[in-house]
């Protein structure tokens, strides 16, 4: 199919498709002649992926490009998925953290490269997760420290419950992404899945809060 049809089938204007092309999110079609290019099903899937990443997960073009470059660069599946993690967790190396605000207090009670007494240690041991350094690991430590600093501490029990749930889900996710027919679909599953789970949590939290409030003041507002 060519540009026009791709646009019609995807529901995305040719202008936007050209834009994605320019931005390197979508690979150029196979140039049949100098003025005609042919696109395939994978272009369609790619567009769906871009759309989902933008609209559902809320990523920016730059971030999407980071993921898709890895995917198109021939990186192994696991590495691409690691990139997805990094982006969704907003800890892209070159992106850096921009929002430090005025914090609440100093930095945090953890040293620099201190290997002992990291906030996440307990979970890792409890779940018997490999205790090796990773982006996710340091992100976890940072998050726990951050929450501590903001006055929203996390109890070991809660951390336990969270991590148990995550352990289960991670297994399923691995299976889902392994089953995914192509890399694009694996990315979609991974990114959308992560986002959806955190949204789900938010909704459950809200419901739990409402329930507690009702119980405590029985009859209050939702």
User: Which residues contact DNA (rule: CB under 7 A)?
Assistant: 2-4, 13-16, 18-19, 21-22, 28-29, 31, 33-37, 54, 60-62
Rounded to a whole number of angstroms, the minimum distance from the CB of residue 57 to DNA is: 11
Cβ 83 to DNA, closest distance in Å?
A: 17
Please give the C-alpha separations between residue 67 and each of 64, 179, 188, in angstroms, as whole numbers: 5, 20, 11
Under a CB-based contact definition with an 8 Å cutoff, are residues 20 and 44 in contact? Answer: no
* Tokens encoding 146: 């951050």
* Residue 209 touches which of a second copy, DNA, none (Cβ within 5-8 Å per kind): a second copy
Burial 150-181 (b: 16+ CB within 10 A, else e): eeeeeeeeebeeebeeeeeeeeebeeebeebe
Which of a second copy, DNA, none interacts with 74 (beta carbon under 5 to 8 A by kind)?
none
- Residue 62 touches which of a second copy, DNA, none (Cβ within 5-8 Å per kind): DNA
Q: Is 113 exposed, middle or buried (0-12, 13-18, 19+ CB in 10 A)?
A: exposed
Which one of DNA, a second copy, none is in contact with 108 (Cβ closer than 5 to 8 A by kind)? Answer: none
Query: Nearest approach, Cβ of 118 to DNA (angstroms)?
Result: 32
């Amino acid at each position: 199919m060519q540009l026009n049809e791709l646009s019609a089938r995807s529901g995305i204007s040719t202008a936007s498709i050209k834009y994605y092309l320019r931005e390197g999110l979508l690979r150029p079609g196979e140039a049949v002649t100098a003025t005609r290019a042919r696109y395939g099903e994978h272009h369609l899937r790619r567009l769906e992926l871009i759309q989902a990443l933008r609209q559902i997960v809320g990523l920016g073009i730059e971030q999407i490009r980071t993921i898709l470059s890895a995917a198109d660069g021939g990186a192994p599946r696991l590495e691409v998925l690691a990139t997805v993690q990094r982006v969704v967790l907003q800890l892209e190396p070159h992106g850096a953290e921009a929002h430090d605000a005025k914090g609440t207090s100093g930095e945090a009670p953890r040293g620099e490269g201190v290997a002992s007494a990291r906030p996440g240690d307990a979970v890792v041991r409890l779940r018997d997760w490999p205790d090796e350094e990773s982006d996710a690991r340091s992100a976890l430590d940072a998050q726990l420290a951050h929450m501590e600093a903001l006055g929203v501490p996390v109890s070991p029990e809660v951390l336990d419950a969270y991590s148990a749930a995550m352990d289960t889900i991670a297994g399923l996710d691995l299976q889902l992404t392994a089953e995914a027919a192509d890399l694009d679909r694996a990315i979609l599953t991974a990114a959308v899945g992560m986002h959806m789970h955190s949204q789900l949590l938010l909704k459950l939290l809200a419901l739990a809060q409402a329930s507690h409030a009702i119980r405590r003041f029985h009859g209050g507002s939702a």
